[in-house]
A and B are shown apart, each in its own frame.
Chain A
Amino acid sequence: MSLPIYATPLEKTWHHIRRILCCLVFLFLIAPILIVIPLSFNAEPYFTFTQKMLSLDPTGFSLRWYDALLTTGMHAPEAARGSSWWRDMWEHAQWISAAKNSMIVGFFSTLLATTLGTLAALGLSRPEMPARRIIMAVLISPMIVPIIITATGLFFFYSSIRIQDWGIPYLGIILAHSILGIPFVIITVTATLVGFDHSLTRAAASMGATPWTTFRSITLPLILPGMISGALFAFVTSFDEVVVVMFIASPDEQTIPRQMWNGIRESISPAILSVATILVVFSVLLLTAVELLRRRSEKMRAADTSI
């Protein structure tokens, strides 16, 4: 981005304008996400900075909205905060039970998506794979089919097979969310296999390694970063999904996004902003994990090609 010495004054101005423009775009990207953090500590029920907050008066800030997250839905929120208060909170607080549901659904759908997705990605990356293009297109399609179509389709399908009567809680949502997560796993895992030298596995096989040993000691280390970041993508997809949940979840299977949807429409009290803040922190952690993995993968592939 450095300017060549032969640049004309006009070009120099343009160069600076462009820099400013880029900064504005970065601001546009990041500011909305950061703005909720200070606002979630607002002592007043408003969504804008109060005079006290702007002058950094400590009384303008409070944790009351975080407290509200714990107490909403409790049977006895006013009780003394002893062990029974905490038990009450753990069992009845709306946001806590939504968080539990989100975790359960996220965990199992990620597990399913990662397992099936990784296997498929291994198959798809083999040079011998027949009908690769069309199969790939089908497997990635859940990512591009409008979510409302997926949700309505699944609603009728699950009703027709009476999935609620199978006695497995959360089954419908878990299956649905794993479908939505699978494209991410396939994309990230196949990306780690691009340029993979298949003679490596052949070499291993010719030296007598079983397919399992070959997989474990050659393929797995290579695809592991892709698998993990695909799994994280799948988890985030499930953790953020609201439309399918709206259509197929039973009333006691409400997740965090579903709860947020209600909250946004009914009353964006700053309590919503405190959930948002927690989720932003969560996504920062995930992003860090994915970035570390990506770098590791790049290093490994660099080492691989230099052999």
Chain B
Amino acid sequence: MADLSANGAITGSNVAVTPLSTTDGRSLKTALAAAQSRAKRRALLLVLPLLLFILISFVLPIGQMLLRSVHNDAFSANMPVLSAWFDENPGKAPDEAAYSALVSDLRQARADKTAGLIGTRVNYDLAGSRSMFTAAARKAPELEPPYRDAVLAINADWGNPALWQAMRSASTPYTANFYLAALDMTRDPQGNIVRVEESRRIYVSHFVKTFVFSGVITAICLILAYPVAHMLATLPLGKSNLLMILVLLPFWTSLLVRTTSWMVLLQEQGVVNNALVATGTVDPANRLSMMYNQTGTVIAMVHILLPFMILPLYAVMRPIKPHYVRAARSLGASSWTAFRQVYLPQTLPGIGAGALLVFILAVGYYITPALVGGASGQMISNFIAYHMQSSLNWSMAAALAAILLAAVLLLYWLYDRLVGIDNIKLG
């Protein structure tokens, strides 16, 4: 900036005549460009430390994790000889060489204690096959050639083409099968993609459920938030600031505290049920069950996300002047028409901002469904956690996470286009 201070003498008349120059003789254009790019660099330099930090310790880890959805080397790394056979013999039915490779790998697996890992990997594609690997590995050291007969003698299922198909597909570490599974699909023995049988479809319906759930929560939040935000926006500033505290206090209160409170309130022997029984509204034998099901999850999540709806609505409503509605009324519009045609359109940006934010946050929710959701209130996040912590099928967790993340990022992009990220309001 300091370089430009020398250019105090710019006048309108000499612009057209000679190119301007700074006192040190450079043309003004270059000097300006240099200053501009220096300013750019300086701005970038301020952002750089954080950008690098986020890229390295946030974006990279998530990318790395998502890679697991297409990469799983539990089979290929622990069954090297058989994997090599698959490589060399594309499309060939298993021969004695294949069985011999199988036995030599299983012997190694027995020594390395990896039979369980291998079996688990194949089991993902072909349910029920895990035990074949652990059982065969236990017996592998004693097997004698011809290996084909020896292996089939342990379990005739070793001749099953579907098993060999599953092993072949697991013999390369890269696979799209986990995405197929995340969409309730699988490959039939011929390699065609088909939907899994009805009783085993689970994820698609839960993606749908997660979105429907989030939509319902967003809608309830909007219905509750709109009149409140309107009231806050039309009250005098002093009063509305006071009432605003009621909105902000939940916002600042620990999520776990709020979830605990709801559990205390909604239990069968909780405050709400007791009050209802005491007033005779509810029969003591038929207390309402509002917890460990969808009802509890929706109530608690609406409570938690409501401030995220009220704040942007309030921010949009506050500057709206009452004159427009009054003008509409004086021109003969009914109060409903005045609201619908004059007031509502002006608040649309706030509705968009609040609804998108609430929806985005709801889609990825984990804690509240995990604590009060029971079996019917589970969302996709809970399935990701389940595959991470209990079933230990990390590739599946990564595939589900990738789909969820894609949806969230799409919404985030939409939010940026429609609202602008800089317009997020935090009280």
| Inter-chain contact A128/B39, CB cutoff 8 Å | yes
Q: Give Cα A141 to B49, complex, Å.
A: 16
B150 on the A face (CB < 8 A):
no
CA distance A30 to B271 in the complex (A): 15
B145 within 8 A of partner (CB): no
A105 at the interface (CB under 8 A from B): no
Mark contacts of A122-163 with chain B using CB atoms, 8 A cut-off: 1 yes-contact digit, 0 otherwise.
111010111001011111111011111110111111001000
With contact pairs A119-B47, A146-B366 given, residues A280 and B253 touching in the complex (Cβ less than 8 Å): yes
| Interface-facing stretch out of B98-106, B157-165, B242-250 | B242-250
Partner of B43 from A32, A126, A205 at Cβ < 8 Å: A126
Contact mask for chain B residues 41-60; partner A; CB cutoff 8 A; 1 contact, 0 none: 01111111111011101111
Whole-angstrom CA separation of A130 from B36 in the bound complex? 11
CB <8 Å contact, B426 and A146: no
- In the bound complex, residues from chain A placing their C-beta under 8 Å from that of B45 are 123
Q: Which residues from chain B contact A141 at a C-beta distance below 8 Å?
A: 54, 58-59, 412
The answer to whether A190 touches B422 (Cβ under 8 A) is yes
Residue interface mask A233-262, B partner, CB < 8 A = 1:
100100110110001000000000100110
Q: What chain B residues lie within 8 Å of A301 (beta carbons)?
A: none
How far is B93's CA from A291's CA once the two chains are assembled, in angstroms?
Answer: 73
| Size bracket, chain B contacts | 35 or more
Output the least CB separation between A175 and chain B (Å). Answer: 6
Is A284 in the interface zone, CB < 8 Å from B?
yes
Complex interface: chain B residues within 8 A of A18 (CB):
227, 231
Kindly identify, within residues 29 to 71 of chain A, every residue whose CB is under 8 Å from any CB belonging to chain B.
29-30, 32-33, 35-36, 39, 46-49
Cβ–Cβ contact B254 & A137, under 8 A: no
Q: Give complex CA distance A156, B405 in Å.
A: 17
List, in ascending order, chain A residues with CB within 8 A of B46's CB: 119-120, 122-123, 126
**Cβ of B366 and Cβ of A26 under 8 Å apart?**
no
| Set B42, B248, B253, B256: member contacting A260, Cβ < 8 A | B256
**B224 an interface residue at 8 Å Cβ cutoff?**
yes
CA distance A291 to B251 in the complex (A): 13
Q: Can you list 13 A-B pairs, Cβ within 8 angstroms, ordered by A?
A: A22-B231, A36-B261, A47-B264, A129-B40, A146-B408, A147-B366, A179-B54, A206-B2, A272-B260, A276-B261, A279-B254, A287-B248, A291-B248
Seen from chain B, the residues whose Cβ lies within 8 Å of a Cβ on chain A are 1-2, 5, 36, 39-40, 42-51, 53-55, 57-66, 68, 224-225, 227-228, 231, 234-235, 241, 243, 245-250, 252-265, 267, 269-271, 274, 303, 306-307, 326, 329, 335, 360-361, 363-367, 371, 381, 384-385, 388, 397-398, 401, 404-405, 408, 412-413, 416, 421-422, 424, 426-427
Q: Other than A257-B256, A291-B245, give 4 A-B pairs with Cβ distance below 8 A.
A: A144-B412, A179-B54, A283-B254, A294-B427
Residues of chain A having any CB pair with chain B under 8 Å: 1, 4, 6-8, 11, 14, 18-19, 21-22, 25-26, 28-30, 32-33, 35-36, 39, 46-49, 116-117, 119-120, 122-124, 126, 128-130, 133, 135-142, 144-150, 152-157, 160, 175-176, 179, 182, 184, 187-188, 190-191, 194, 202, 205-206, 233, 236, 239-240, 242-243, 247, 257, 260-261, 264-265, 268, 272-273, 276, 279-280, 283-284, 286-287, 290-291, 294
